[in-house]
Amino acid sequence: MASFVPRAAFPALDSLPRSYFLGHHRAGLNKMKTLLSQIDLVIECRDYRVPLTSRNPLFEEELAGKKRLILYTKQDLGSAGRPEDLRAEQTIQDVQKPTDVMFSNHKDKRSTRNILNFARDHAVTKDTIVGSRVMVVGMPNVGKSSLLNALRSVGVQKGKVASTGAQPGVTRKIGTTVKIIDGGPSGEDVYLLDTPGVFVPYVPNAESMLKLALCGSVKDTIIAPTTMADYLLFHMNKQDPRIYQEYMSPTNEVWDLLEAVANKTGRLQKGGSPDVEASALWLIQRWRSGHLGRFLLDDVHGDLENLKDEHERAIGTSANQAWKQEKNIRRQRSRNISVDRE
Ligand SMILES: Nc1nc2c(ncn2[C@@H]2O[C@H](COP(=O)(O)OP(=O)(O)O)[C@@H](O)[C@H]2O)c(=O)[nH]1
Ligand SMILES: [Mg+2]
């Protein structure tokens, strides 16, 4: 243990896919735009574990002009309540002033009540007949539908209405509005609109893609589970390699860890060789459910200027530039293919 040195950087993976902007993402965003005039408040969800990388500039560019709350979901998976966690939260809030920022966990009634109070105070409309409307937006799998269910359950004591799921793409269509606050005879009702997740049009680097994949924003079939597990190992080692001590002693070799997990959990192929893929997926699920450490994948502990720089890098430049970049890559690829054919 004393001699173990974790990797300082994760190896660059230039061949990793870096796009996951699907047809229904664009269609969903277009629909959201058309509904915007009826909306009083936008709650933009980002994943607490990747506060910088899960920001999607499309929501600011295309859904501008409305009161906005930035909500970092899944706080329970990224924070262990340590002083450094609280410091990171403060930094995240400071850097985004004057925009309102909150942190949530879908099972925590107190954080749900705080969001309801915010909605009650800010979703104020002149139209008392239809009540006021809140739209929840965010990257795939960030917890939008779970938020709707939590707000409805605490706000009007009604059961789950929106389907949720561990993989992205569960909510494909914009649903009807659901009441989350009953204003009573003299007050105002507040309704919430769930929306499908929208991925960033272009991910600036391979590491950001790995972060989003690890947090479940990208289907698990897009990036090899063993690569995701290696990236998880990189982070667990940075935190504390004892996180996985029930499987093996500190290591930088993901294959050794996966073999150890396979043997320990009985994930073996015919003939008894370790099933490293299944073990990788299992390890990732353990982390996603909070059983392999609670920590951030983004580094927000630098000073404010560094954070702003990283913020810019993490979100890429503007969406338009990202499109151009993507087009160039495609053009380059097709050129390479035609050269190969010649
Ligand atoms: N631990 C934890 N899990 C959450 C939280 N919010 C959502 N989830 C889980 O994340 C997954 C995706 O949630 P869902 O609401 O379907 O995300 P959506 O795609 O944004 O609508 C589900 O497995 C949820 O149970 C949270 O605050 N904490
Ligand atoms: Mg959903």
CATH number of the domain residue 150 falls in = 3.40.50.300
The reported pLDDT for the residue numbered 256 is: 98
Q: Does some domain include residue 278?
A: no
The tally of CA atoms less than 13 A away on the side-chain side of residue 179 is: 11
Q: Considering only CA atoms, which of 38, 68, 219, 39 is closest in space to residue 138?
A: 68
pLDDT in tens, 163-190: 888 887 777 777 778 999 998 887 789 9
Q: Residue 313 pLDDT > 90, yes or no?
A: no
- Residue 329: pLDDT band by 50, 70, 90 thresholds? low
**Pocket around ligand 1 at a 6 A CB cut-off:** 73-74, 76-77, 104-106, 138, 140-146, 164-166, 170-171, 197
pLDDT in tens, 63-116: 998 999 999 999 999 999 999 999 999 999 988 888 999 999 999 999 999 999
Cα 98 from chain centroid?
22
Nearest CA owner, ligand 1 atom 8: 143
Q: Does some domain include residue 174?
A: yes
Test site for ligand 1: of 25, 32, 153, 164, most ligand atoms within 8 A of the Cβ: 164
**Cα 178 to averaged position of ligand 1 atoms, centre (Å):** 18
Q: Does some domain include residue 83?
A: yes
**Cα 146 to averaged position of ligand 2 atoms, centre (Å):** 7
How many domains, the chain? 1
Q: Does some domain include residue 298?
A: no
Cα 58 from chain centroid?
15
The reported pLDDT for the residue numbered 197 is: 92
Q: Does some domain include residue 326?
A: no
Give me the DSSP letters along 260-292. HHHHHHT-B-TTS-B-HHHHHHHHHHHHHTTSS
The reported pLDDT for the residue numbered 187 is: 79
Q: Does some domain include residue 45?
A: yes
Q: Does some domain include residue 41?
A: yes
**Cα 91 to averaged position of ligand 2 atoms, centre (Å):** 28
Q: Does some domain include residue 161?
A: yes
Supply the range of the domain harboring residue 111: 23-193
pLDDT in tens, 45-58: 999 999 989 999 89
Question: What is d(CA 12, CA 81) in angstroms, rounded to the nearest whole number?
Answer: 32
